[in-house]
């Protein structure tokens, strides 16, 4: 059965976002025009503007959709009863490394910082659609641990910064030095992820 007009439009938006993400990564925000995106997608500029009123809207869609799967994974971790809170947090940290450091959209961290100065709506979309829900999910895992006495009580904002800070810094550093032949020697993702997770687990287990 042919898809509905709405489902066809949604599929086209997803396709545009995926292609645009590749172009933004390759050419940067300033170096990616709406004409280039339209040509790569095989659509007219008018059709592209029908889906996305401006380049900032398209860029915001790229980053929020790109991180959506990470939110789904975190939601599943919160809901499962098969893991202890500390195990949930360890897996949550792994999910964050995968989405912020290892995924294509994660590599857009420097672009997000650059674009948000000119287009505050991009920063707002990223904050509202990704960071706030993500922090809320991590907070629920932390609450489960403190309520059951398995984890220590912590300042929520300090906790978020200690979790996110090293991951974002690693993402930015790897993009800054992306041309290094020995990039993985300078910034070994797996080893740093394991060390980060271990430190947080040790800190959180210090039940008062």
Torsion, CA 22, CA 94, CA 157, CA 162, rounded to 10: -100
Q: State residue 131's pLDDT score.
A: 87
pLDDT, the chain, mean:
90
The model's confidence at residue 1, banded by pLDDT at 50, 70 and 90, is very low
Q: Is the pLDDT of residue 6 over 70?
A: no
Q: Mind listing the domains of the chain with CATH numbers?
A: 5-53 (1.10.10.60), 64-204 (1.10.357.10)
The Cα 186–Cα 7 span in angstroms is 45
Residue 28 sits at φ, ψ, to 5 deg, of 80, 175
| Among the listed residues 177, 145, 132, 150, the one whose alpha carbon sits nearest the alpha carbon of residue 78 | 145
The stretch 119-125 carries a mean pLDDT of: 86
Contact assessment for residue 84 and residue 150, using Cβ atoms and an 8 Å cutoff: yes
Tens digit of pLDDT for each residue in 149-174? 999 998 999 999 999 999 999 999 99
pLDDT in tens, 10-38: 888 999 999 999 999 899 999 999 999 99
Note whether 20 and 32 are within 8 A (CB): yes
Question: Residue 70 pLDDT more than 50?
Answer: yes
Q: What is the pTM of this model?
A: 0.84
Percent of the chain past pLDDT 90, that is, above it, reads 66
The full DSSP string for 90-112 is: HHHHHHHHIIIIISTGGGGHHHH
What average pLDDT does this structure show over 65-71? 83
Q: Using the 8-state DSSP alphabet, how is residue 31 labeled?
A: T
């Amino acid at each position: 059965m042919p898809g509905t007009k709405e489902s066809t439009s949604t599929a086209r938006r997803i396709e545009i976002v995926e292609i645009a993400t590749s172009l933004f990564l390759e050419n940067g925000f300033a170096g990616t025009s709406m004409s280039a995106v339209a040509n790569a997608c095989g659509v007219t500029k008018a059709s592209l503007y029908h889906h996305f009123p401006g380049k900032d809207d398209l860029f915001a869609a790229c980053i929020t959709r790109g991180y959506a799967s990470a939110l789904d994974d975190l939601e599943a971790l919160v809901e499962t009863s098969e893991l202890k809170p500390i195990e949930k947090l360890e897996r949550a940290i792994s999910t964050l490394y995968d989405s912020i450091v290892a995924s294509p959209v994660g590599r857009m961290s420097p672009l997000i910082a650059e674009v948000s100065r000119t287009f505050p709506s991009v920063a707002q979309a990223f904050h509202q659609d990704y960071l706030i829900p993500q922090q809320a999910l991590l907070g629920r895992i932390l609450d489960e641990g403190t309520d059951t006495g398995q984890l220590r009580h912590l300042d929520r904002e300090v906790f978020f910064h200690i979790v996110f800070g090293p991951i974002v810094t690693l993402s930015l550093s790897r993009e800054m030095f992306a041309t290094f032949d020995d990039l993985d020697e300078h910034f070994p993702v797996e080893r740093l992820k394991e060390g980060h997770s271990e430190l947080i687990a040790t800190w959180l287990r210090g039940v008062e």
